[in-house]
Protein backbone atom coordinates (compact mmCIF):
# COMPACT_ATOMS: atom_id res chain seq x y z
CA UNK A 1 0.00 0.00 0.00
CA UNK A 2 1.31 3.45 -0.87
CA UNK A 3 1.40 5.38 2.40
CA UNK A 4 4.08 8.06 2.04
CA UNK A 5 3.18 11.72 2.23
CA UNK A 6 5.97 13.01 0.04
CA UNK A 7 8.85 11.57 -1.95
CA UNK A 8 11.45 13.74 -3.64
CA UNK A 9 13.91 12.28 -6.13
CA UNK A 10 16.35 14.84 -7.43
CA UNK A 11 19.60 14.83 -9.37
CA UNK A 12 21.76 16.88 -7.00
CA UNK A 13 22.86 20.06 -8.80
CA UNK A 14 26.28 20.14 -7.09
CA UNK A 15 27.04 16.40 -6.97
CA UNK A 16 25.06 14.99 -9.90
CA UNK A 17 24.00 12.15 -7.58
CA UNK A 18 20.46 10.85 -7.00
CA UNK A 19 19.13 12.44 -3.79
CA UNK A 20 16.06 10.68 -2.38
CA UNK A 21 14.07 12.19 0.49
CA UNK A 22 11.06 10.18 1.63
CA UNK A 23 8.63 11.72 4.12
CA UNK A 24 6.43 8.91 5.38
CA UNK A 25 4.28 10.65 7.99
CA UNK A 26 3.94 13.99 9.73
CA UNK A 27 0.77 12.97 11.61
CA UNK A 28 2.55 13.32 14.97
CA UNK A 29 4.82 16.19 13.91
CA UNK A 30 7.96 16.91 11.90
CA UNK A 31 9.28 13.74 10.22
CA UNK A 32 12.73 12.55 11.33
CA UNK A 33 15.17 10.15 9.74
CA UNK A 34 18.87 9.83 9.09
CA UNK A 35 20.80 10.63 5.93
CA UNK A 36 22.28 7.48 4.38
CA UNK A 37 25.15 7.65 1.88
CA UNK A 38 25.59 4.14 0.55
CA UNK A 39 26.60 2.26 -2.59
CA UNK A 40 23.67 0.59 -4.38
CA UNK A 41 23.63 -1.65 -7.44
CA UNK A 42 20.84 0.54 -8.82
CA UNK A 43 19.63 3.92 -7.50
CA UNK A 44 16.12 2.43 -7.33
CA UNK A 45 17.38 0.11 -4.57
CA UNK A 46 18.25 3.29 -2.66
CA UNK A 47 14.71 4.54 -3.24
CA UNK A 48 13.33 1.23 -1.88
CA UNK A 49 15.55 1.61 1.21
CA UNK A 50 14.32 5.17 1.77
CA UNK A 51 10.67 4.07 1.52
CA UNK A 52 11.13 1.15 3.92
CA UNK A 53 13.30 2.97 6.46
CA UNK A 54 11.14 6.11 6.55
CA UNK A 55 8.04 4.02 7.34
CA UNK A 56 9.98 2.24 10.11
CA UNK A 57 10.94 5.65 11.57
CA UNK A 58 7.25 6.57 11.84
CA UNK A 59 6.61 3.58 14.13
CA UNK A 60 9.84 4.17 16.05
CA UNK A 61 9.03 7.81 16.82
CA UNK A 62 5.40 6.99 17.67
CA UNK A 63 6.43 4.32 20.18
CA UNK A 64 9.17 6.54 21.62
CA UNK A 65 6.44 9.06 22.44
CA UNK A 66 8.12 11.73 20.31
CA UNK A 67 6.07 14.44 18.61
CA UNK A 68 7.55 13.31 15.31
CA UNK A 69 6.92 11.18 12.26
CA UNK A 70 9.23 9.21 9.98
CA UNK A 71 11.38 10.17 7.02
CA UNK A 72 14.67 9.17 5.42
CA UNK A 73 17.28 10.54 3.05
CA UNK A 74 19.28 8.25 0.79
CA UNK A 75 22.05 9.34 -1.54
CA UNK A 76 22.44 6.36 -3.84
CA UNK A 77 26.11 5.99 -4.85
CA UNK A 78 27.62 3.76 -7.52
CA UNK A 79 31.05 3.98 -5.83
CA UNK A 80 32.47 5.42 -2.59
CA UNK A 81 32.86 9.22 -2.68
CA UNK A 82 35.98 11.34 -2.30
CA UNK A 83 35.77 14.22 0.19
CA UNK A 84 34.85 16.99 -2.23
CA UNK A 85 32.06 15.00 -3.87
CA UNK A 86 30.75 14.00 -0.44
CA UNK A 87 30.61 17.68 0.54
CA UNK A 88 28.70 18.42 -2.69
CA UNK A 89 26.24 15.57 -1.97
CA UNK A 90 25.66 16.84 1.58
CA UNK A 91 25.02 20.36 0.23
CA UNK A 92 22.47 18.91 -2.20
CA UNK A 93 20.77 17.07 0.66
CA UNK A 94 20.58 20.29 2.68
CA UNK A 95 19.09 22.19 -0.27
CA UNK A 96 16.32 19.59 -0.81
CA UNK A 97 15.49 19.47 2.92
CA UNK A 98 15.32 23.25 3.10
CA UNK A 99 12.86 23.27 0.20
CA UNK A 100 10.57 21.01 2.22
CA UNK A 101 10.06 23.93 4.59
CA UNK A 102 10.53 22.07 7.88
CA UNK A 103 8.26 19.03 7.49
CA UNK A 104 11.39 16.83 7.72
CA UNK A 105 14.72 16.98 9.57
CA UNK A 106 17.71 14.71 9.14
CA UNK A 107 20.51 13.28 11.26
CA UNK A 108 23.36 10.76 10.91
CA UNK A 109 22.94 7.26 9.46
CA UNK A 110 25.13 4.77 7.57
CA UNK A 111 27.82 6.79 5.75
CA UNK A 112 27.30 10.04 7.66
CA UNK A 113 28.18 11.28 11.14
CA UNK A 114 27.67 14.33 13.37
CA UNK A 115 30.30 16.38 11.48
CA UNK A 116 28.40 15.82 8.21
CA UNK A 117 25.32 17.31 9.85
CA UNK A 118 27.24 20.59 10.11
CA UNK A 119 27.75 20.51 6.33
CA UNK A 120 24.07 19.77 5.68
CA UNK A 121 23.26 22.43 8.27
CA UNK A 122 25.01 25.05 6.15
CA UNK A 123 22.00 24.78 3.79
CA UNK A 124 19.15 24.06 6.22
CA UNK A 125 18.40 24.37 9.91
CA UNK A 126 16.34 21.18 9.81
CA UNK A 127 19.16 18.95 10.98
CA UNK A 128 19.98 17.24 14.28
CA UNK A 129 22.75 15.38 16.11
CA UNK A 130 25.49 17.87 15.23
CA UNK A 131 28.60 17.70 17.45
CA UNK A 132 28.28 19.22 20.93
CA UNK A 133 30.87 21.86 19.96
CA UNK A 134 28.54 22.96 17.14
CA UNK A 135 25.57 23.28 19.51
CA UNK A 136 24.20 19.80 18.86
CA UNK A 137 23.40 16.66 20.87
CA UNK A 138 26.60 14.85 19.83
CA UNK A 139 27.01 11.08 19.89
CA UNK A 140 23.63 9.37 20.40
CA UNK A 141 25.06 6.03 21.53
CA UNK A 142 25.06 6.80 25.30
CA UNK A 143 21.30 7.53 25.03
CA UNK A 144 20.78 4.35 23.02
CA UNK A 145 22.62 2.35 25.70
CA UNK A 146 20.62 3.91 28.55
CA UNK A 147 17.36 3.17 26.72
CA UNK A 148 18.51 -0.39 26.05
CA UNK A 149 19.13 -1.00 29.74
CA UNK A 150 15.65 0.40 30.55
CA UNK A 151 14.31 -2.11 28.00
CA UNK A 152 16.32 -4.96 29.53
CA UNK A 153 14.90 -4.14 32.96
CA UNK A 154 11.37 -4.39 31.50
CA UNK A 155 12.28 -7.74 29.92
CA UNK A 156 13.64 -9.06 33.24
CA UNK A 157 10.52 -7.88 35.07
CA UNK A 158 8.29 -9.62 32.53
CA UNK A 159 10.25 -12.86 32.44
CA UNK A 160 11.65 -13.21 35.94
CA UNK A 161 9.39 -11.06 38.13
CA UNK A 162 12.09 -8.50 38.99
CA UNK A 163 13.65 -5.79 36.80
CA UNK A 164 17.03 -6.09 38.50
CA UNK A 165 19.85 -7.39 36.26
CA UNK A 166 21.82 -8.49 39.35
CA UNK A 167 22.44 -12.23 39.24
CA UNK A 168 20.89 -12.56 35.76
CA UNK A 169 23.01 -13.71 32.82
CA UNK A 170 23.28 -11.78 29.55
CA UNK A 171 25.16 -12.47 26.31
CA UNK A 172 26.05 -9.13 24.69
CA UNK A 173 26.85 -9.57 20.99
CA UNK A 174 28.92 -6.61 19.80
CA UNK A 175 30.97 -4.35 22.08
CA UNK A 176 30.86 -1.19 19.98
CA UNK A 177 29.67 2.27 20.96
CA UNK A 178 26.32 0.98 22.23
CA UNK A 179 27.07 -2.65 23.17
CA UNK A 180 30.23 -1.70 25.09
CA UNK A 181 28.24 0.76 27.20
CA UNK A 182 25.37 -1.68 27.74
CA UNK A 183 27.84 -4.35 28.91
CA UNK A 184 29.43 -1.89 31.32
CA UNK A 185 26.06 -0.79 32.76
CA UNK A 186 24.98 -4.42 33.20
CA UNK A 187 28.28 -5.34 34.87
CA UNK A 188 27.91 -2.37 37.24
CA UNK A 189 24.39 -3.63 38.08
CA UNK A 190 25.78 -7.03 39.09
CA UNK A 191 24.86 -9.08 36.00
CA UNK A 192 26.78 -12.14 34.81
CA UNK A 193 28.12 -11.43 31.33
CA UNK A 194 29.14 -13.31 28.23
CA UNK A 195 30.41 -10.99 25.52
CA UNK A 196 31.38 -11.39 21.87
CA UNK A 197 32.80 -9.23 19.12
CA UNK A 198 34.51 -9.94 15.80
CA UNK A 199 37.09 -7.33 16.82
CA UNK A 200 39.61 -9.07 19.13
CA UNK A 201 40.71 -5.71 20.55
CA UNK A 202 37.41 -5.66 22.49
CA UNK A 203 38.76 -8.54 24.61
CA UNK A 204 40.32 -5.92 26.91
CA UNK A 205 36.86 -4.58 27.80
CA UNK A 206 35.67 -8.12 28.54
CA UNK A 207 38.58 -8.58 30.95
CA UNK A 208 37.94 -5.21 32.59
CA UNK A 209 34.27 -6.09 33.18
CA UNK A 210 35.02 -9.62 34.38
CA UNK A 211 33.00 -10.98 31.45
CA UNK A 212 33.47 -14.32 29.70
CA UNK A 213 34.65 -13.88 26.10
CA UNK A 214 32.89 -16.16 23.58
CA UNK A 215 32.54 -16.26 19.81
CA UNK A 216 29.47 -14.51 18.31
CA UNK A 217 27.91 -17.92 17.47
CA UNK A 218 28.53 -19.24 20.99
CA UNK A 219 27.02 -16.06 22.45
CA UNK A 220 23.89 -16.30 20.33
CA UNK A 221 23.17 -19.89 21.36
CA UNK A 222 24.40 -19.59 24.97
CA UNK A 223 22.24 -20.81 27.87
CA UNK A 224 21.73 -17.34 29.36
CA UNK A 225 18.69 -15.41 30.55
CA UNK A 226 18.87 -12.73 27.83
CA UNK A 227 20.72 -12.46 24.52
CA UNK A 228 21.48 -8.82 23.63
CA UNK A 229 22.17 -8.30 19.90
CA UNK A 230 24.26 -5.12 19.65
CA UNK A 231 26.06 -5.52 16.32
CA UNK A 232 24.57 -6.20 12.90
CA UNK A 233 20.98 -6.90 11.89
CA UNK A 234 19.59 -10.19 10.58
CA UNK A 235 20.84 -12.34 13.49
CA UNK A 236 17.45 -13.95 14.10
CA UNK A 237 16.78 -16.50 11.36
CA UNK A 238 14.83 -19.78 11.44
CA UNK A 239 18.15 -21.62 12.02
CA UNK A 240 19.49 -19.32 14.75
CA UNK A 241 16.11 -19.20 16.55
CA UNK A 242 16.04 -23.01 16.61
CA UNK A 243 19.44 -22.97 18.34
CA UNK A 244 18.61 -20.34 20.98
CA UNK A 245 18.81 -21.44 24.64
CA UNK A 246 17.85 -18.10 26.25
CA UNK A 247 14.57 -16.90 27.75
CA UNK A 248 14.54 -13.57 25.94
CA UNK A 249 16.25 -11.59 23.17
CA UNK A 250 16.44 -7.81 23.49
CA UNK A 251 19.08 -5.48 22.12
CA UNK A 252 19.74 -2.30 20.15
CA UNK A 253 20.87 -3.85 16.84
CA UNK A 254 18.60 -2.68 14.01
CA UNK A 255 16.52 -5.14 11.95
CA UNK A 256 17.29 -8.26 14.01
CA UNK A 257 14.63 -10.42 12.32
CA UNK A 258 15.55 -11.79 8.89
CA UNK A 259 11.83 -11.67 8.09
CA UNK A 260 8.69 -10.66 10.03
CA UNK A 261 7.64 -14.34 10.26
CA UNK A 262 10.65 -15.05 12.48
CA UNK A 263 8.81 -13.25 15.32
CA UNK A 264 6.28 -16.12 15.21
CA UNK A 265 9.09 -18.69 15.50
CA UNK A 266 10.40 -16.94 18.62
CA UNK A 267 6.89 -16.90 20.09
CA UNK A 268 6.40 -20.59 19.29
CA UNK A 269 9.61 -21.40 21.17
CA UNK A 270 8.44 -19.38 24.19
CA UNK A 271 11.27 -16.86 23.80
CA UNK A 272 10.35 -13.25 24.52
CA UNK A 273 11.56 -10.90 21.77
CA UNK A 274 11.58 -7.16 22.40
CA UNK A 275 11.05 -5.31 19.10
CA UNK A 276 14.41 -3.73 18.25
CA UNK A 277 13.00 -0.38 17.19
CA UNK A 278 11.47 0.04 20.65
CA UNK A 279 14.68 -1.04 22.44
CA UNK A 280 16.96 1.27 20.41
CA UNK A 281 14.70 4.35 20.51
CA UNK A 282 17.07 6.07 22.96
CA UNK A 283 19.19 6.99 19.93
CA UNK A 284 16.59 9.18 18.27
CA UNK A 285 15.39 10.47 21.65
CA UNK A 286 18.83 11.77 22.60
CA UNK A 287 19.80 12.78 19.04
CA UNK A 288 16.85 15.18 18.81
CA UNK A 289 16.72 16.32 22.43
CA UNK A 290 18.87 19.42 22.13
CA UNK A 291 18.40 20.81 18.62
CA UNK A 292 14.75 19.93 17.98
CA UNK A 293 13.03 19.52 21.32
CA UNK A 294 15.09 21.83 23.57
CA UNK A 295 14.63 19.35 26.42
CA UNK A 296 16.30 19.42 29.82
CA UNK A 297 18.51 16.48 30.87
CA UNK A 298 15.72 15.43 33.27
CA UNK A 299 13.18 15.31 30.44
CA UNK A 300 15.53 13.21 28.32
CA UNK A 301 16.15 10.80 31.20
CA UNK A 302 12.38 10.41 31.72
CA UNK A 303 11.92 9.68 28.01
CA UNK A 304 14.72 7.07 28.06
CA UNK A 305 13.23 5.41 31.16
CA UNK A 306 9.85 5.47 29.40
CA UNK A 307 11.19 2.95 26.88
CA UNK A 308 10.87 0.35 29.64
CA UNK A 309 7.23 1.28 30.29
CA UNK A 310 6.42 1.13 26.59
CA UNK A 311 7.85 -2.38 26.39
CA UNK A 312 5.97 -3.49 29.49
CA UNK A 313 2.73 -2.34 27.84
CA UNK A 314 3.65 -4.02 24.55
CA UNK A 315 4.29 -7.34 26.33
CA UNK A 316 0.99 -7.05 28.23
CA UNK A 317 -0.96 -6.29 25.03
CA UNK A 318 0.72 -9.21 23.25
CA UNK A 319 -0.34 -11.60 26.02
CA UNK A 320 -3.85 -10.16 26.19
CA UNK A 321 -4.43 -10.44 22.43
CA UNK A 322 -2.40 -13.64 21.99
CA UNK A 323 -0.12 -12.04 19.39
CA UNK A 324 3.64 -11.49 19.18
CA UNK A 325 5.27 -8.44 20.81
CA UNK A 326 6.17 -7.42 17.26
CA UNK A 327 2.50 -7.34 16.24
CA UNK A 328 1.52 -5.63 19.50
CA UNK A 329 4.13 -2.90 18.97
CA UNK A 330 2.93 -2.30 15.40
CA UNK A 331 -0.68 -2.12 16.61
CA UNK A 332 0.22 0.39 19.32
CA UNK A 333 2.09 2.58 16.81
CA UNK A 334 -0.93 2.46 14.47
CA UNK A 335 -3.23 3.39 17.37
CA UNK A 336 -1.10 6.41 18.30
CA UNK A 337 -0.99 7.55 14.68
CA UNK A 338 -4.71 7.21 14.08
CA UNK A 339 -5.40 9.07 17.34
CA UNK A 340 -3.30 11.92 15.96
CA UNK A 341 -5.40 11.86 12.82
N1 LIG B 1 24.68 4.26 17.86
C2 LIG B 1 23.39 4.48 18.09
O3 LIG B 1 23.01 5.47 18.72
C4 LIG B 1 22.36 3.48 17.61
C5 LIG B 1 21.01 3.86 17.64
C6 LIG B 1 20.04 2.93 17.23
C7 LIG B 1 20.43 1.66 16.80
N8 LIG B 1 21.77 1.35 16.75
C9 LIG B 1 22.15 0.01 16.27
O10 LIG B 1 22.89 -0.67 17.27
C11 LIG B 1 23.88 -1.52 16.68
C12 LIG B 1 25.25 -1.16 17.23
O13 LIG B 1 25.51 0.19 16.92
P14 LIG B 1 26.90 0.88 17.36
O15 LIG B 1 26.71 2.33 17.17
O16 LIG B 1 27.35 0.35 18.68
O17 LIG B 1 27.87 0.30 16.25
P18 LIG B 1 29.45 0.12 16.32
O19 LIG B 1 29.90 0.04 14.91
O20 LIG B 1 30.07 1.13 17.24
O21 LIG B 1 29.64 -1.32 17.04
C22 LIG B 1 29.31 -2.52 16.46
C23 LIG B 1 30.23 -3.56 17.07
O24 LIG B 1 29.82 -4.83 16.62
C25 LIG B 1 30.97 -5.59 16.25
N26 LIG B 1 30.54 -6.61 15.31
C27 LIG B 1 30.38 -6.52 13.96
N28 LIG B 1 29.94 -7.70 13.46
C29 LIG B 1 29.78 -8.53 14.52
C30 LIG B 1 29.34 -9.87 14.65
N31 LIG B 1 28.95 -10.60 13.61
N32 LIG B 1 29.31 -10.40 15.90
C33 LIG B 1 29.70 -9.68 16.99
N34 LIG B 1 30.14 -8.41 16.90
C35 LIG B 1 30.19 -7.84 15.69
C36 LIG B 1 31.92 -4.57 15.70
O37 LIG B 1 33.27 -5.04 15.73
C38 LIG B 1 31.69 -3.40 16.67
O39 LIG B 1 32.52 -3.49 17.82
C40 LIG B 1 23.71 -1.33 15.17
O41 LIG B 1 22.84 -2.31 14.66
C42 LIG B 1 23.06 0.04 15.06
O43 LIG B 1 22.33 0.19 13.85
C44 LIG B 1 22.73 2.22 17.16
Average pLDDT over residues 288-292: 90
Residue 233 has pLDDT above 90, yes or no: no
Kindly name the residue from 72, 86, 192, 202 that is annotated as catalytic: 72
pLDDT at 232 over 90: no
Residue 112 lies in a domain: yes
CB-CB contact of 236 with 256 (8 Å): yes
Q: Does the annotation mark 192 as catalytic?
A: no
- pLDDT greater than 90 at residue 318: yes
Mean pLDDT over 200-217 rounds to 97
Same-domain check for residues 95 and 169 = no
Q: How far is ligand 1, taken at its centre, from the CA of residue 201, in Å?
A: 15
- Best of 177, 194, 255 for a ligand 1 pocket test (most atoms within 8 Å of beta carbon): 177
79 shares a domain with 167? no
> From the CA of 212, how far away is ligand 1's center (Å)?
19
Domain boundary among 87, 108, 129: 129
Tens digits of per-residue pLDDT, 141-179? 999 999 999 999 999 999 999 999 999 999 999 999 999
- Contact residues of ligand 1, CB 6 A cut-off: 140-141, 144, 173-179, 196-199, 202, 216, 230-233, 252-254, 280, 283
Q: Is the pLDDT of residue 191 over 90?
A: yes
Looking at the fold, whether 84 and 175 belong to one and the same domain comes out as no
Can you give the pLDDT at residue 50? 97
Q: How far apart are CA 332 and CA 310, in angstroms?
A: 10
* Residue pLDDT, tens place only, 14-27: 999 999 999 999 99
Torsion of CA 112, 117, 123, 126, to 10 degrees: 110
Atom in ligand 1 nearest the alpha carbon of residue 281: 6
Query: What is the residue with the minimal CA distance to atom 10 of ligand 1?
Result: 253
Collapsing DSSP states into helix, strand and coil, what is residue 240? helix
Mean pLDDT score of the chain, rounded to an integer? 96
Instruction: Spell out a b/e string for 162-198, using b for 16 or more CB atoms within 10 Å of the CB, else e.
Output: ebebeebbbbbbbbbebbbbbbbbbbebebbbbbbbe
If you measure from the C-alpha of residue 99 to the centroid of ligand 1, how many angstroms do you get, rounded to a whole number?
A: 33
Evaluate whether 34 touches 48 at the Cβ level (below 8 Å).
no
Interval 83-132: pLDDT, tens = 999 999 999 999 999 999 999 999 999 999 999 999 999 999 999 999 99
Same domain, 51 and 167: no
Q: The domain that contains 233 carries what CATH number?
A: 3.40.50.720
289 C-alpha to ligand 1 centroid (Å): 22
pLDDT value at 341 more than 80: no
Percent of the chain residues past pLDDT 90, beyond the cut: 95
| pLDDT on residue 1 | 80
pLDDT at 130: 95
CATH code assigned at 24: 3.40.50.10860
Clarify whether residues 51 and 80 are in a common domain: yes
Residues 237 and 299 in one domain: yes
- The contacts of residue 43 (CB under 8 Å, 6+ apart) are 18, 20, 76
Tally DSSP H helices, then E strands, for the chain. 13, 11
Is 122 in the same domain as 174? no
Number of domains in the chain: 2
> For residue 184, is pLDDT > 90?
yes
Look at residue 46 and tell me whether its pLDDT is greater than 90: yes
Residue ending a domain, choose from 92, 107, 129: 129
pLDDT tens figures, 269-289? 999 999 999 999 999 999 999
Q: What's the pLDDT score for residue 201?
A: 96
Q: Cα 128 vs. chain centroid, distance in angstroms?
A: 16
User: Cα separation of 244 and 156, whole Å?
Assistant: 17
The preferred substitution site among 174, 179, 274, 284 for testing ligand 1, maximizing ligand atoms within 8 Å of CB, is: 174
Q: Which atom of ligand 1 is nearest to the CA of 144?
A: 3
Q: Is 147 in the same domain as 86?
A: no
Residue 294 Cα to ligand 1 middle (Å): 28
Q: Which domain holds residue 264?
A: 141-339
Amino acid sequence: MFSHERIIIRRGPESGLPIVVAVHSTALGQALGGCRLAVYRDWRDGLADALRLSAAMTDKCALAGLPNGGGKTVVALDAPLDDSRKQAALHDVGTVIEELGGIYATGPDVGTGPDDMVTIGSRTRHVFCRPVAAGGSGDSSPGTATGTVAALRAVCADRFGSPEPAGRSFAVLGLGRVGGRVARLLAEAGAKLLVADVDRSKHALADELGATWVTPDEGLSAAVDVVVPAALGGVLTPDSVAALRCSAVAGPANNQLDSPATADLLQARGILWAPDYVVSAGGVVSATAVELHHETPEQVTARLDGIGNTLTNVFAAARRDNITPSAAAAAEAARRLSKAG
